[in-house]
Structure 1
Amino acid sequence: MHKHHSLLLSASAFCLFVILAIFSAQQPNAITPPSFDDRVVVPASLLTILHGGDRFLAADLEIIRLSATGMDDRGVDTGFLIRAQREITRLNPCHEDNYYLANGLLTWGGAVEQGNEVLRAAIQCRFWDEIPPFFYGMNLSFFQRKNEEAARVLEIGAARSAQNAVTMRKLAIMLRTEQFADERLALNYLVQQRDSATDPKLRDMLDKRVIRLQGLIYLREAQRRYEAEQGPLTDLQQLITQGIVAELPTDPLRLGYEMRNGRIELKKLKIAGMEEQP
C-alpha cells in the first residue's frame, strides 16, 4: 500500500511539473526573450513548488548549479547566467553568492545593466550589507558616468558600514568633484574580488576581467599622450599610426574597446532582446 501511495505521489508531482512547464512556456515574458532556448532555466515559481515551497533552498541549489555549469574553460555562458540569476533573484534577492557572481561575471563581462539589476535587488533586501551599494556605486560611476547617483548609493553603503564608512563617504565626495581616476579604483576592487575568490574557475574568469580593465587603463593613458600632441582622438587606430602604442591590447573576453563620446570605453555585450536601453 505504501509503495502504491509513493508511486501515485511521484506520478502526480511529475504531471504537475509538466503542466506548469507547458503553462510557463505559453506565457508572454517581457524579460526573457524566446531566442534564448538553448539551455533550460526553470521559472522561480516552479522551482519553489519542486522544492516543497522552500524558495530559499531552491535558490541555494540553483546558484550551485549555475556556478558549476555557467562557466567552464571556454568562458562564461552569459545568456544562461542572466536568465538563471534573474530567477534566483526572484527566489531570494538576498542571496550573497548571486550578487557576487552577477557583479563579477555579468557587469564586468559586458552585461552591465543585467548585473546591476541583481545588485539593486540585493541593496533593497540586504539592508545591513555595505557591499552591494559599494559594487553598484562603482558600477554607476565607471560604466555609466552617473557620479551623483553613485555618490548617493555609496553613502547608503557608508551608513551600513562599521569599518569602511569614512572611506565610502570620501569616495562619494570625490565622485561629486570628479577628482580621482575611477578606472584605477575600479581595478583595485576588481583585483580584490579575484584574489578573494575560492573557486578556481571563478578566479580565472575574474582574472580575465582584470586583464581587460588593465588594457583599458593602458589605452586611456595612450589617449592622454596622443591628445597632448595631436588633439582629440577619434579612432583607436590613430594610436598605432602615430606610434603611441605598437598594437591594441587583447581583450580576453573578445569584446574589445571602443571610442564613445570622445573617451575609450569597454565594449558592452550585445545580447539579442536584452540590449541596454539608452
Structure 2
Amino acid sequence: MTVALVDVTRANPVARLLSALLIAVALVFSIDWVSALTALVLETIVLLTSGIALRKFVQRSLPVVIAAFFTAVTILLYGQASGTVHAQFLLIVVSDGSIALAAATFLRVLAIGLPSILLFLDIDPTDLADGLAQILRLPARFVLGALAGFRLIGLLQHDWQYLGYARRARGVADHGRVRRWAGQAFALLVFAVRRGSKLATAMEARGFGAYPDRTWARVSTLSRADIVVIALGALIGILSIAAAVTAGTWSFIGAR
C-alpha cells in the first residue's frame, strides 16, 4: 500500500498545468545534464509518492522515453561537433560535445515531458475548462470553443470511417489510393466546417456566449493541496537550477 504524501493526480487541473509549466520554464533556460537530472529525480520521487502505481508510471512514461531516445540519437549524430571526434561519416560526426549535448537533451525531454504525460492523461476536459475560465480568467468563448472542439475530436475518426464506407459503396474508392485519400480528406474538412457552424449557432442560442454575466455549473477553486502542487513545481525548478549553478554546468541558452 502506497502512502500519498501529495496526491497530485487529484489536484485541480489548473494547479497541475501551472506546476508542469513552472518546471518546463525553469528547464528551457539552459541545456545541461545536471539541472535536467535533478528535476527528473525530484519529479519521479513526487509522482511515485503521490499514489501512482509503478506499472502505470512505466506504461505512461514509455512514449516519452522513446521520443527522448530518438531525439538524443539525432543530436548525437548531427549535433555541433566539439572536443575529440570519435566517429565521422559524411554529415555524421560523433564528438565529445555531441555526446554531452545528446545526454543533456535526453534527460531534458524526459524532465519536461514526464510531468505533462503523467498529470494530464486522466484529466476531465470539462474540469480543465472550468479552471481555465474561472481561475485563470481566460475568455469564456475561447475556453468553451476549445472544449467543444476537443469533445468532437472523437467524431473525426467515425466520420473518416463512414466516408470510406460510403465511397466504397458508390464505387469511387476502388483505385488510386492517393486520390481517394485527398478526396476523403476534403470531404471530412467540409463536414467539420458544417458541424462547427451548427455547433456555434446552438451554443449561442443556449447562452454559451453570455458575457460578462455567465454562470458555471461547477465551481472551480484552488485548495491548499493545489497550492502545494504549484509550489512543488516551483521548488523543483529552483532546485534544478541551483544544482546546475553549484556544479558549474549552468549555461544560459543562447550564451556563448
Task: Tell me the TM-score normalised to structure 2 length.
Answer: 0.23
Larger radius of gyration: 2
Higher RCO (C-alpha 8 Å, min separation 6): 2
TM-score normalized by the length of structure 1: 0.22
